[in-house]
Structures are given as structure tokens and as C-alpha cells.
């Protein structure tokens, strides 16, 4: 039976990890001089409360040593490690170094080229097919990943600016004009700006329209994302007629880069 490892950006809770028999390696969020393990030492609720203090958080990937400890516990069993995009975190590189350094030949590192509920869908798919070999499961994931969509609107440009992803002048002008960015996680695993709208209401509508223009695969759930408030995603839910779907609070490591008052939708496009 294939062992499966992921990271905390997958939105899989500790309870869910036990039920799925999945190992979750936490990312790290840093406020000032204090580091917290995402989802272990700092809950999502506590994280977004800390954001209100105005202190800007930083993030870091699990260390090579952390991955080495996890791989050592696999007892030589075939293991598939599904991690946040290598374009968004150094987790994939750390896992690869741990594999090489410990000669864990039966460990397979999979760069998901995504994060949050997109990664969760890949993990759930891997769990469903864990009786297969790692190579077979990877082929299934490779076919699925290009069909997973994430569209989101951000409540502020400030965190993109502080993270060095947007010029200060552009962020200041955007905030002054009430511009809300619309983003996706692209095929290369990067967060891409795909549009903007004047005001949150129009931005949420634009996200809803992205979903409505494409048929979703009914074999997979339609999921919604929130940061600190569930009001913005509920507006998208209402606009797309999916008001009974699950809303996932975005993890601390991703939230550190997008800030509060963001919302989005994740689904799998029909083949």
C-alpha cells in the first residue's frame, strides 16, 4: 500500500490526515522573531487575528531534516510525497535533498505545481488510488492537474507589495482606486494576475464568471476559499448557484502572501 505525504498548504486537517492515513508536514509562519508550525502551533483563526496587529508575516519551508525524519519512518515502503508548487516554496527542493541524502530510493517527490485545495484534490486522488504503484498514481495526477482550476480575488494589494510581488507605486495607486486583483495558479505553478476589478463586488462577480464559462467535472467537488471571513466566498457561491458547497479557510503559509478578505473557487474542469 502506497504511503502518502503532503504539506500543510493542502488544507488537510490533523483529523482528516488520520482518516486518510496521510502524513502532513507543516510549513512555517514567522511573526517577528517567533516561528510557528502552520496548523500545529498556530491555527488559521489565530493567524488571521495576528494579521490585524499590522505585523507582516514571513514563511519558510520544512527543513531537510524534517523531511529526513518523515522518510525514515516510512520503513522503506513506497512513498509518494505531494508538495506545494516549487515556484511558491522551497519544500520540493528540501524534500529532494532529504531523499538524496538519506538514500530513500522508494520515496517519490511530486511537484504539484499548485497549493491549497488544488493540492488537496491531488492528495485525495492519490489516496483513492494508493493500491497502485507510485508511477501509476503519478500518471493519474499528471492527467488531473491541468484540469484543476483556482480563481480568486484578493482584498488588498498590500501583501503582494510587501512580499515583493508588486511595485509600491502600483500598489498605492491600486488601493487608492479600489482595484481588486483577480489571480489564478497557472500551469507553471505560479500565482498569476489574470484581471482586476474596481471594488470587491465586481471582483467576486468576475471570479464567478470564470467558473460559469466552463463546465465542471461532477466527479469532483466544487470548493470555495476564504481567508478571515466567509462573506466574500458566499457571494461567489450565490452567483454560481453552489450555496451548499464547502468553504475552506486558506492556510497560514498562503495567507501570509495574500492577506485578509480574499475569496476564491476551486474545481476540476470537465474533459
Asked if pLDDT for residue 214 goes beyond 80, the answer is: yes
Q: In Å, how far are 100, 132, 239, 261 from 228, measured between CA atoms?
A: 39, 39, 20, 6
Maximum C-alpha span of the chain: 57
Sheet holding 28-31: strands in order across?
34-37, 28-31, 58-60
Asked if pLDDT for residue 192 goes beyond 90, the answer is: no
Instruction: Name the pTM for this structure.
Output: 0.93
CATH number at residue 166: 3.30.1180.10
Mean pLDDT of the 209-237 span: 97
Asked if pLDDT for residue 170 goes beyond 50, the answer is: no
Cross-strand bridge partners of residue 34: 31
Whether 45 and 132 map to the same domain: the answer is yes
Asked if pLDDT for residue 166 goes beyond 50, the answer is: no
Domain boundary residue, one of 146, 175, 205: 146
Whether 107 and 162 map to the same domain: the answer is no
Instruction: Compute the half-sphere exposure of residue 212: CA atoms within 13 Å on the CB side of its CA.
Output: 13
Whether 22 and 140 map to the same domain: the answer is yes
Burial (Cβ within 10 Å: 0-12, 13-18, ≥19) of residue 250 = buried
CATH number at residue 30: 3.40.50.10170
Whether 171 and 244 map to the same domain: the answer is yes
pLDDT-above-90 percentage for the chain: 76
Rounded Cα distance between 102 and 108, Å, is 13
Tens-place pLDDT, residues 40-76: 999 999 999 998 887 889 899 999 999 999 999 988 8
**How many domains is the chain partitioned into structurally?**
2
Rounded Cα distance between 58 and 34, Å, is 10
Rounded Cα distance between 69 and 263, Å, is 35
Asked if pLDDT for residue 164 goes beyond 60, the answer is: no
Range of the domain at 241: 147-268
Whether 201 and 224 map to the same domain: the answer is yes
Asked if pLDDT for residue 85 goes beyond 60, the answer is: yes
Q: In Å, how far are 22, 57, 88, 179, 195 from 167, measured between CA atoms?
A: 40, 19, 19, 14, 17
Mean pLDDT of the 204-210 span: 97
What pLDDT shows up at residue 181?
Answer: 84
Whether 8 and 72 map to the same domain: the answer is yes
Domain boundary residue, one of 94, 118, 146: 146
Whether 106 and 201 map to the same domain: the answer is no
Amino acid at each position: 500500500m502506497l504511503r502518502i505525504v503532503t504539506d500543510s498548504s493542502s488544507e488537510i486537517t490533523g483529523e482528516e490526515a488520520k482518516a486518510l492515513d496521510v502524513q502532513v508536514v507543516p510549513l512555517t509562519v514567522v511573526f517577528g522573531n517567533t516561528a510557528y508550525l502552520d496548523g500545529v502551533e498556530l491555527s488559521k483563526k489565530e493567524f488571521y487575528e495576528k494579521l490585524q496587529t499590522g505585523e507582516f508575516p514571513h514563511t519558510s519551508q520544512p527543513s531537510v531534516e524534517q523531511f529526513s525524519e518523515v522518510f525514515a519512518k516510512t520503513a522503506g515502503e513506497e512513498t509518494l510525497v505531494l508538495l506545494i508548487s516549487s515556484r511558491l516554496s522551497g519544500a520540493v527542493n528540501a524534500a529532494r535533498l532529504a531523499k538524496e541524502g538519506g538514500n530513500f530510493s522508494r520515496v517519490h517527490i511530486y511537484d504539484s505545481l499548485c497549493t491549497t485545495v488544488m493540492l488537496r484534490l491531488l492528495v485525495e486522488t492519490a489516496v483513492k488510488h494508493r493500491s497502485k504503484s507510485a508511477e501509476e498514481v503519478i500518471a493519474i495526477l499528471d492527467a488531473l492537474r491541468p484540469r484543476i482550476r483556482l480563481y480568486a480575488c484578493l482584498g488588498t494589494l498590500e501583501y503582494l507589495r510587501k512580499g515583493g510581488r508588486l511595485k509600491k507605486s502600483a500598489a498605492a495607486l491600486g488601493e487608492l482606486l479600489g482595484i481588486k486583483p483577480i489571480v489564478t495558479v497557472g500551469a507553471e505553478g505560479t500565482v498569476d494576475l489574470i484581471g482586476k476589478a474596481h471594488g470587491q463586488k465586481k471582483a467576486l462577480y468576475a471570479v464567478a464568471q470564470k467558473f460559469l464559462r466552463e463546465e465542471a467535472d461532477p466527479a469532483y467537488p466544487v470548493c470555495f476559499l476564504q481567508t478571515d471571513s466567509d462573506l466574500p466566498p458566499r457571494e461567489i457561491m450565490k452567483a454560481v448557484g453552489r450555496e451548499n458547497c464547502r468553504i475552506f479557510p486558506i492556510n497560514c503559509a498562503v495567507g501570509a502572501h495574500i492577506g485578509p478578505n480574499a475569496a476564491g473557487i476551486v474545481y476540476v474542469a470537465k474533459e
